[in-house]
Amino acid sequence: MFEAGVRQKAIFATMKQSATRPAARNALRLAAISGLSMVLAACSVIPKGPVTPAAPPPAAPPPSTAPALPTDTNRHRIALLVPESGANAAAGQALANASTMALLDMSASNLRITTYDTATGASAAAKKALADGNSMILGPLLGEEASEVAAAVRGSHVPVISFSNDYTVAGADVFVMGTIPAQSVNRVVHYARGLGITRFAALVPRSVYGERTSSAMVAAVRASGGTLVDIETFGREPGALTAAIGKLKSHGAFEAVLVGDNARVAAQAAPLLKVGRPSLRILGTELWSGEALLARTPSLRGALYAALSDTHFRQFSERYRARYGDAPYRISTMGYDGVLLSLRIARDWAPGRPFPVAHLYDRGGFAGTDGIFRFNSNNVIERALEVREVKPVPGSSTSNTIPVVSPAPARFDD
């Protein structure tokens, strides 16, 4: 039911067969929600009667008010580390909702999922999860939290399935589930090579994401047998993008250029890049997925980018809305698939025993809402991505459509 190559029908049996994803509901939304802080104050016991030189006997500590987790003998305890307060609370709630939905869809009675708030401290949340006896951790969401959680669980032999795309924290018992930019770059470059494109260039922002995208571009072009003409970086200050494009074009001819940023930046860059080169192909990354801007930017026609498959997300989105009354965040599928992964492993996981980490390295992979995936020897996820192309709507000079031109593979062949 969860192995790659097995039909998705058993997993998604209750999904409606037709659904239309509303535009712009795939993009990650940051909700500004005021966080609540709990302040614990110690109470002093004041003895009655006159004060004497002798010190009063020490007061007994007040009983703990923290709810204790019930004892589980037939269920596995899984911790979900997501923001429940602060600016990212809505995204965290969507992940929690999706996790619960997976349990309900699968009628799972052998898992107990407890949510811990990372907004008040990711390290503290991880340590509390360990103290409560959880055997597996799903989350956290943010890259800066991932390193804190990795440090907190080090040596515990409790696996962490991080939702972030910070692959630098992977290793030991920490696995990275977020989509890695290197994979979308590699996928779109190899597809472009299949179209006969040989000379590539790239524009990337001066950021951690830009650095990783740049390294991925070098590796992808080399592996595909193409030629990398140049990579230029740009900042966010006015005129920086235009200056970088000028430098890039001065290095000679290229047939495709990767814009390693969001669709808004690509829309700004495309008209300048195409001056004198109308047939130039613009390439994008997974950041373009769900961007409504692509459908109304004529200069991006012909652009290619790789992204997660939306085949099952449309049904997932409809069912999520029916249950919770709102559209899900695109990232919420990781909460759903994380639970499905736990249930798949739980077939061979006896309650009370450590999580069988070796099962996560199954080379056949696993099937989920976002398609098939597996973890490589470095504990970083490998996903099957599809390639989409921005094309004009027939008869329209301004509207585009974004069809899939290369479907995501249905199985891993190696």
| Of 119, 122, 117, residue with least CA distance to 152 | 122
The answer, yes or no, to whether residue 223 has pLDDT greater than 70, is: yes
Decide yes or no: CATH 3.40.50.880 for domain 73-178+311-383.
no
Instruction: For the domain made up of 181-307+386-406, give the CATH fold.
Output: Rossmann fold (3.40.50)
Average pLDDT of the chain to the nearest whole number = 85
The answer, yes or no, to whether residue 48 has pLDDT greater than 50, is: no
Going by pLDDT thresholds of 50, 70 and 90, the confidence category of residue 70 is low
Q: What is the pTM of this model?
A: 0.79
- pLDDT of 380 reads 96
Across the range 118-128, mean pLDDT stands at 97
What are 321-332's pLDDT values in tens digits? 999 999 999 999
Instruction: Give the start-to-end residue ranges of the domains of the chain.
Output: 73-178+311-383, 181-307+386-406
How far apart, in whole angstroms, are the C-alpha atoms of residue 150 and residue 237? 35
Neighbours of 8 (CB within 10 A): 18
Domains 73-178+311-383 and 181-307+386-406 share a fold: yes
- pLDDT of 414 reads 79
